[in-house]
Amino acid sequence: MRAVIAILEALTAARGRLMPWAPVFLSLGIGGYFALPVEPGGKALALAVALAIGLGAVALRGPDLLRVPALGLFLIAAGLLLGAGRARMVEEPVLGFRYYGPIEGRIVAIDRSFSDQIRLTLDRVVLQDTEPERTPARVRVALHGEEGGTEPHPGTTVILTGHLSPPEGPVEPGGFDFQRLAWFSGLGAVGYTRSPVLALAPPEGGLSMWIFRLRMTISSAMQSRIPGQAGAFAAALMTGDRSGVAQATNDALRGSNLSHLISISGLHMGLLTGFVFAACRYGMALIPPLALRFDTKKIAAVLALLAAGFYLMLAGPGVATRRAFIMAAVMLLAVLSDRRAISLRSVAIAAMIVLILEPESLIEPGFQMSFGATVALIVAFRPWARLQPRVPPLLRPVAMLVLSSMAAGMATAPIAAAHFNRIAEYGLLANLVAVPLMGTVVMPAGVIAAVLAPVGLAEPALWVMGQGTAIILAVARWITSLDGAVIAVPTPAPGVLALLALGGVAALIGEGRRLRIAGGVAVCLALGVWSGVERPALLVASDGTMAGIMGPDGRALSKPRGAGFVTKSWLEDDGDMAPQDLAYMRPGFSGEAGALTATIGGTPIGHYFGKGSALRAAGACHDGAILFLSEPWQGAKAVNCTVYDLEKLRQTGAVALILRHGNLTAIHARDTAGDRLWNRPARSRGKSRFGGQKFSMSGSARQGAPEP
C-alpha cells in the first residue's frame, strides 16, 4: 500500500511534466479499439461513455492523488470512443456484389496502381441497375486498357465500362487489411477497366475542384519544364501529385530509405515553412524601419503559417499532409505565443490534434514514423546543446546532420521494417546526401519558383530544382544497386510493434532511470520475439487460385503469374524479395499444373485450380488430406479429408496452415479480422443485370478482382 501511495504522490508531483504522455494514453484506447475482435455495440459504448464521464470528473474534481491516474484512464476510454465514433462517422455504402458494366462518376483523384497503371477515384457514382442506396459514394478504377478516349482531367464527369468488386480482406490471416483502409478512405468498391474513358460533362466549379485542377495544372507545367522522373519527383514534392512517378522510381527511393522524400510530410512542411520564416525574417531585418518598429519574428511566423496553409491546400487534404500542417502550425503558434517552438509538449499537442481528428492515423506508418522521428530528434539534441560549444564551428553542420539522420533513422527503421519488410542498409548514407540537398536546393528553389511563376520568371528556379531532384534520384538508384543495400525482414507477430512503440516511448521520454530501463527491456523483448517469428507452412488465396508452401529455399508458389498483389504480399511478409516467377521454380509442390500436391507434417495437401479442378480433386479425398479448390466441390460428402472449395473459401477468406510441434492448424483470415464494421456483409444485396452476383464481404474472391 505504501508503494502505491508513493507512486501516486510521484505522479502528482510530476503532473506538470506529463503532457508528452497524453497522446500515448489516447493511443492505447484507439489501438485497443482497432484490436477488438468484435465491433463494440451500443451497450458497450454507453458503458465506455459513462466510464469516461466518471473518470473525467475524478480527474477534474477528485482527490489530488487520483487525478493523474484518472486522467490517464479517461484518455484510454476517450481513445476507444474516438475510434468507434470515427468508424461510424465515415460509413458509406459498400458494393455488395461483383459488377461489370457502365460506371459514371466525377474524377476527384488521380494516382497510380500497384501495377503502375493510372488510377482514377470517382465520386457521384452511378452504376447501371443499382439503386442509389446501394451505390458506393466513391470507387477507384485502374486504367488497364490501351490509350484512347478522354485524357483524365480533375472534376470531369466521365463514363467507362469496367469491373468493380468490394474491397478485399487480408491476403493472409493477420495480414494488411485493405477493407479497413478502404472504409476510412470512403471507398466502396475498387476495380479496373480495359475500355476508353469518355467525358460526359466538362470540369465543374467549386473551390475543391478548382484547387484540384490548380494542383494538376501546376504538376503538368512542372513536368513539362523538368523532363523525366526528376520532373515527376519535383511535381510530387510541390503538389502532392504522384501520378507521374514510376514504380521503378518508388522502388529506388524505398530501397535507399528515401521514400519519405516523395510523400509530403513533416520534413517538407518543415523545410518550406522554415525557408519562408527565415527568408521573411532576415529580409525584414535588412529594412531598418521595419526591423526597429515591428516584431519581425512574429510577422515571419504568420507569413510562414500562411505559406503552410497554401501548401496544404495545394497538396490536398491527405492524412500525411494534414498531419504535417498541424505539426508546423503548432510550432509556429508557439513562436507567436513566445514559447519554445520545438519541444515534447508541442509535439504532444500536435499528436493529440491529429488523433482526435483522425484516430485511424495511429495504425498508419506515416503517423508512427513522423512522430517517432520528431521525438527522437528532440531527445537526441538535448545532449547536443551541451556538446555543441566543443565542436569546431566548421564541423557543426556536418555533426548535426549526422546526429539527426542517425536519430531519425534509428527511430523509424523498426517501424519501416514492420510495415514494409525491408531495412535499407545504406539509408544513413543516402539521407546524408539527399536531405541537405532537399533543404538547401530543392525546396528553396521550389518556393522561389512558386513566387516568380505569376510573373513568368520561374524557369531558372525550376531548372535548379530539377537538377537537385535528378541528383537525389541518381543517389537513390546508386544506393539501391549496391550489394546488400536492402535487407528483407519478415512481418512481426501481432503486438510486437505495439510493444516496441511503448518501450521506445518509455525509453525516450520517460522520467526516472527505472522507467527508461523498463522501456529498453521492452524494446529488446519485442525485437527478440520478432526475430523468432514463424511464418505459415502454407498460404492459400481467398479464391483458391494461388497457394504458397514454405520449402527449403523459401516459399514456393503454385503459379508463375497471376494474383500479383497477393503473391508479392506473401513473399514480403516472409522477408523474401524473390520475384514470383523465381518463387514458382522453388521445390515444394509436385504434380502437374492445376493439380499440385505436397505433404506438411505428415498430412497430404492438395491444391487444385483452374477449369475442371473439382473433377481432378475428386479422387484425392483420403488419408485426412486437406484439399483446396478454386471451384465448388462436386464429389460426395467429404469424410476422409477436409475440403476448402470456392464456397468455403469465400466464407473463411485466405487460409494459413501453421505447423507447430508436429501439429497442423488452419487459421482463417475472416476469423483473425474479426467482426468489424468494415468487413461485415453489405447491407444491400442483389443481382446486377450486367454480371453482378451476390457477394459476401466475409469472403471476397480475388479471381479477376481489381488491384487495391
> In this predicted structure, what is the pLDDT of residue 315?
80
Most confident of 268-282, 361-375, 535-549: 535-549
- Compute the Cα dihedral for 161, 166, 167, 171 and give only its sign: negative
pLDDT band at 317 (very low <50, low <70, confident <90, very high): low
- The stretch 537-545 carries a mean pLDDT of 94
Tell me: the pLDDT tens digits for 126-175? 999 899 989 999 999 999 876 656 778 888 899 999 999 999 999 999 99
Residue 87 in contact with residue 80, Cβ under 8 Å?
A: no
Residue 31 in contact with residue 498, Cβ under 8 Å?
A: yes
- The stretch 683-695 carries a mean pLDDT of 36
The DSSP code for 120 is E
* Whether residue 167 sits in one domain with residue 189: yes
d(CA 397, CA 261): 20
372 inside domain: no
* Whether residue 552 sits in one domain with residue 676: yes
474 inside domain: no
Last residue of a domain, one of 341, 363, 385: 363
308 inside domain: yes
Burial of 361 (0-12, 13-18, 19+ CB in 10 A): buried
* Whether residue 295 sits in one domain with residue 277: yes
> In this predicted structure, what is the pLDDT of residue 149?
66
Is pLDDT of 26 > 90? Answer: yes
Residue 569 in contact with residue 175, Cβ under 8 Å?
A: yes
230 inside domain: no
> In this predicted structure, what is the pLDDT of residue 266?
66
> In this predicted structure, what is the pLDDT of residue 7?
74
The DSSP code for 149 is B
Is pLDDT of 345 > 80? Answer: yes
228 inside domain: no
Residue 105 in contact with residue 200, Cβ under 8 Å?
A: no
Specify which residues 641 forms β-bridges with. 625
> In this predicted structure, what is the pLDDT of residue 318?
66
* Cell numbers at 293, concatenated: 518598429
Q: Which residue has the cell 512503440?
A: 501
pLDDT band at 312 (very low <50, low <70, confident <90, very high): confident
Question: What's the alpha-carbon Rg for the chain, to the nearest Å?
Answer: 27
457 inside domain: no
* Cell numbers at 246, concatenated: 514510376
* Whether residue 603 sits in one domain with residue 653: yes
> In this predicted structure, what is the pLDDT of residue 682?
59
* Whether residue 545 sits in one domain with residue 663: yes
> In this predicted structure, what is the pLDDT of residue 513?
86
* Whether residue 571 sits in one domain with residue 542: yes
d(CA 366, CA 266): 10
> In this predicted structure, what is the pLDDT of residue 147?
60
* Cell numbers at 146, concatenated: 490501351
Is pLDDT of 685 > 80? Answer: no
* Whether residue 129 sits in one domain with residue 85: no
> In this predicted structure, what is the pLDDT of residue 695?
30
Contacts for 598 with CB less than 8 Å, ≥ 6 apart:
538, 549, 588, 589, 590, 604, 605, 607
Range of the domain at 310: 271-363
> In this predicted structure, what is the pLDDT of residue 77?
96
Last residue of a domain, one of 89, 123, 158: 89
Q: What is the CATH number of the domain that holds 203?
A: 2.40.50
Least reliable range by pLDDT among 78-87, 328-337, 515-524? 328-337
Residue 140 in contact with residue 708, Cβ under 8 Å?
A: no
d(CA 590, CA 225): 55
* Whether residue 585 sits in one domain with residue 508: no
* Whether residue 637 sits in one domain with residue 558: yes
Burial of 399 (0-12, 13-18, 19+ CB in 10 A): middle
Tell me: the pLDDT tens digits for 110-131? 888 877 788 999 999 999 989 9
Distance of CA 397 to the CA centre of its chain: 33
* Cell numbers at 486, concatenated: 536492402
19 inside domain: yes
pLDDT band at 14 (very low <50, low <70, confident <90, very high): confident
Is pLDDT of 350 > 80? Answer: yes
Mean pLDDT of the chain: 87
> In this predicted structure, what is the pLDDT of residue 319?
65
554 inside domain: yes
Measured from the Cβ of residue 390, the count of other Cβ atoms closer than 10 Å reads: 6
- Compute the Cα dihedral for 304, 305, 310, 311 and give only its sign: positive
d(CA 308, CA 272): 7
d(CA 631, CA 571): 25
Contacts for 32 with CB less than 8 Å, ≥ 6 apart:
76, 79, 80
Name the percent of the chain in helix, strand, coil, to the closest 5. Answer: 55, 15, 30
Write down the pTM of the prediction.
0.86
Q: Which residue has the cell 539522420?
A: 405
Alpha-carbon dihedral 44, 50, 56, 62, rounded to 10 degrees:
-130
Last residue of a domain, one of 304, 334, 363: 363
* Whether residue 650 sits in one domain with residue 556: yes
Tell me: the pLDDT tens digits for 208-243? 788 888 888 899 999 999 999 999 999 998 888 888
* Whether residue 122 sits in one domain with residue 17: no
> In this predicted structure, what is the pLDDT of residue 473?
95
* Whether residue 671 sits in one domain with residue 562: yes
What total number of domains does the chain contain?
5
Residue 124 in contact with residue 208, Cβ under 8 Å?
A: no
* Cell numbers at 704, concatenated: 479477376
d(CA 227, CA 223): 6
> In this predicted structure, what is the pLDDT of residue 412?
85
d(CA 418, CA 501): 12
Alpha-carbon dihedral 586, 592, 596, 599, rounded to 10 degrees:
-70
Residue 96 in contact with residue 685, Cβ under 8 Å?
A: yes
